[in-house]
Structure 1
Amino acid sequence: MITDFERAILVKLCQETGMAKAAHLPEHVLVHRFPNLGHRVKKALGKLVSKGYVSRHPTRNEMTYQLTELGIEECRRMKERA
């Protein structure tokens, strides 16, 4: 089970990547989408990674994040409920 804030991060990740499994999103993009909540965003991303919704990909300059199959399924479920 994920929290409402983790769900908000997941929704933003889904929107920014178009739910494409191969798309990677830099951490700073998500941090900028939630002003004044940078620490919470980073913590939520870590929890989403540990729960299997998101995977981490280090790049030369920064960390990027990618949806997993579980994350994509959750995005689809949330979209159907809306």
Structure 2
Amino acid sequence: MSVNYGIIVVAHSRLAEELVHTAFAVLGEQPNVAGIALTSEQNLEAVCARIAAVRDAMQVDGYLVLTDMMGGTPCNASMMLC
């Protein structure tokens, strides 16, 4: 039996998008992998909603969320949703 996982990278500025872009350059485009860039204008609720929307759009058995630093908004929002 195959298990299908998604990967969501959440980070400040464009870090998440660039990490995903770099991974795709090496591995090729991958399904169920997303980078979410946070801006300074977004509050915690907006970030949670964006992560939840990406998570819910993935047709996967589970997902891995990677963030840039413990205690930051990306990490805090991700922990609230898991």
What TM-score do the two structures reach when normalised by structure 2?
0.31
Q: Which has the higher helix share?
A: 1
What TM-score do the two structures reach when normalised by structure 1?
0.31
Bigger Rg over Cα: 2
